[in-house]
């Protein structure tokens, strides 16, 4: 019975991230439009876009290989599995122990690997430039992420997200190192999700684009899978920040149905606040030149390293 309930919860979690991801995207777009004094699309526009794309036929370049066709599904699956490992509304999920924070980081790395390869498959210069820059950003964002993981793990004594979320509310308190980790994680999240100031999710046909350049050749259902994966990734990072730094309202294993409902409500509230803050940050800052981004990400790496070093000096920082 407990196993069935656990599996059910895990399934709910997986479907929840899938269902909420386009909502978060639509919410940020609407809020952003309002901040720019535009009316903007309705919140459910991403759902409509995805439905439209998924029903269309896929137009593929003549020289595309099987990798080009398989990649969207691989990217989506790796991102989805990573997102399913992050506790959203409840901790202690049945398969939470399958991977820790490092595994989640690496799973996103796997998705990116396929995305970058897919960008190079047709053999166009846009695809190449996108892949090249994506890998540059990743080569700084991933170590920054690992350093953040170190900081958090040294405070909580675990790299397992469920344990971190259970540990943080009562025991962590306010710490310098955690503050650094939070700032670093926000920088990494902004870069990883191709948001302003690193990349512009609204551009197309611009030399500064990174993510859009890689997926330029995609259309139809393949594009839909990649867009959905990107939405899930954004939700994943917001959930990650919420789970590590603001783990209030999470239902613990074995609590009643009411706790789960409250957990879902708290979670939806948290991602909406997160989305709002993201838009606030985006609208108040200009897009960077590509070669300023390494400095931006380098700051995250240094903050993460500094946070870790502080904890090596004393556990009380």
Partner 1 sequence: MTLGAAFERGTRAAAGVAEAREDGWAVMQVGMALWGVAVLLGAAILGTLLQRAGVASRLVYSLCLGACLAVLGAAGWHLLFVSDAPQSVQLPIGLPWTGAHFRIDALSAFFLVLANLGGAAASLFAVGYGRHEPTPGRVLPFYPVFLAGMSLVVLAADAFSFLLSWELMSLASWALVVAHHHAAENTRAGYIYILMASFGTLTLLLAFGLLAGPDGGYTFDAMRRADPTMPGLVLLLVLIGAGSKAGLAPLHVWLPLAHPAAPSHVSALMSGVMTKVAVYAFVRVAFDLVGEPSWWWSMVVLAVGSVSAVLGVLSALMQRDLKRLLAFSTIENVGIVFIGLGLALAFKADGMAAAAALALTGALLHAFNHALFKSLLFLGSGAVLTATGERDIEKLGGLIKGMPLTAFLMLGGCLAISALPPLNGFVSEWLTFQAILLTPQLPQWGLKLLAPAAGAMLALAAALSAACFVRAYGIAFLGRPRTPEAARAAETDRFCLAAMAACLALCVIAGILPGLLIDALAPVAQALAGTRMPVQTTVSWLSIVPVAESRSSYNGLLVLLFITASTLLTIEAVHRYASRAVRRGPAWDCGFPDASPATQYTADSFAQPIRRVFGEVVFQARERVDMPPPGDTRPARLAVTLRDLVWEAVYAPIAAGLAVVTEKLNHLQFLTIRKYLSLTFAALVGLLLVVAIWR
What residues numbered 188-207 form the site for partner 1, per CB under 8 A? Answer: 205
Considering the rule CB under 8 A, would residue 282 count as an interface residue with partner 1?
no
For residue 111, how many C-alpha atoms fall within 13 Å in the half-sphere facing its CB?
Answer: 28
Considering the rule CB under 8 A, would residue 262 count as an interface residue with partner 1?
no
Interface residue with partner 1, options 95, 260, 281, 296 (CB under 8 A)? 95
- Minimum Å gap between C-beta 126 and partner 1 is 6
- Minimum Å gap between C-beta 202 and partner 1 is 16
Let me know: does 158 contact 97? Beta carbons within 8 Å.
no
Interface residue with partner 1, options 20, 25, 84, 251 (CB under 8 A)? 84
Considering the rule CB under 8 A, would residue 211 count as an interface residue with partner 1?
no
Span of 33-41, 169-177, 178-186, 286-294 interacting with partner 1 by CB under 8 A: 286-294
Which of positions 107-126 make contact with partner 1 (CB under 8 A)? 107, 109-110, 112-113, 116-117, 119-126
Interface residue with partner 1, options 22, 26, 143, 263 (CB under 8 A)? 143
Give the orientation angle of helix 2-35 with respect to helix 220-245, to 10 degrees.
100
Give the orientation angle of helix 125-156 with respect to helix 101-121, to 10 degrees.
180
Query: CA-CA distance, 222 to 112, in Å (whole number)?
Result: 15
Of 80, 66, 121, 95, nearest to 233 by C-alpha is 80
Interface residue with partner 1, options 49, 100, 227, 282 (CB under 8 A)? 100
Which of positions 150-179 make contact with partner 1 (CB under 8 A)? 150, 153-154, 157-160, 163
**From residue 310, how far is each of 52, 147, 155, 168, 240 by CA, in Å?**
50, 12, 11, 18, 22
Strand pairing partners for 90?
251
| Residue matched to tokens 């919420």 | 242
Interface residue with partner 1, options 21, 91, 142, 199 (CB under 8 A)? 142
- Minimum Å gap between C-beta 118 and partner 1 is 9
Interface residue with partner 1, options 37, 57, 284, 286 (CB under 8 A)? 57
Span of 129-137, 186-194, 234-242, 260-268 interacting with partner 1 by CB under 8 A: 129-137
Considering the rule CB under 8 A, would residue 54 count as an interface residue with partner 1?
yes
- DSSP character at residue 38: -
- DSSP character at residue 291: G
**Collapsed DSSP state (helix, strand, coil) of residue 90:** strand
**Collapsed DSSP state (helix, strand, coil) of residue 183:** helix
């Amino acid at each position: 019975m407990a196993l069935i309930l656990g599996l059910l919860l895990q399934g709910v979690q997986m479907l929840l991230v899938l269902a909420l991801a386009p909502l978060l995207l639509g919410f940020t777009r609407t809020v952003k439009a309002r901040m720019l004094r535009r009316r903007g699309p309705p919140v459910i526009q991403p759902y409509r876009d995805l439905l439209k794309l998924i029903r269309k036929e896929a137009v593929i370049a003549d020289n595309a290989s099987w990798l080009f066709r398989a990649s969207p599904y691989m990217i989506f699956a790796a991102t989805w599995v990573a997102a399913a490992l992050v506790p959203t509304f409840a901790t202690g999920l049945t398969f939470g122990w399958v991977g820790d924070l490092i595994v989640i980081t690496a799973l996103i790395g796997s998705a990116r690997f396929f995305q970058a390869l897919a960008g190079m498959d047709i053999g166009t210069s846009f695809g190449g430039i996108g892949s090249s820059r994506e890998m540059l950003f990743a080569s700084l964002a991933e170590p920054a992420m690992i350093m953040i993981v170190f900081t958090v793990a040294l405070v909580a004594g675990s790299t397992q997200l469920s344990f971190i979320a259970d540990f943080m509310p009562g025991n962590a308190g306010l710490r310098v190192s955690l503050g650094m980790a939070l700032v670093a994680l926000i920088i990494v999240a902004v870069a990883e999700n191709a948001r302003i100031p690193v990349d512009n999710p609204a551009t197309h046909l611009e030399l500064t684009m990174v993510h859009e350049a890689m997926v330029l050749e995609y259309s139809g259902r393949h594009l839909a899978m990649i867009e959905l994966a990107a939405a899930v990734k954004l939700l994943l990072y917001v959930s990650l920040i919420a789970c590590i730094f603001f783990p209030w309202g999470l239902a613990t294993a074995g609590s009643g149905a009411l706790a789960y409902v409250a957990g879902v409500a708290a979670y939806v509230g948290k991602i909406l606040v997160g989305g709002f803050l993201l838009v606030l940050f985006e609208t108040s800052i200009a897009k960077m030149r590509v070669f300023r981004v390494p400095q931006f990400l380098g700051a995250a790496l240094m903050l993460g390293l500094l946070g870790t070093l502080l904890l090596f000096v004393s556990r009380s920082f």
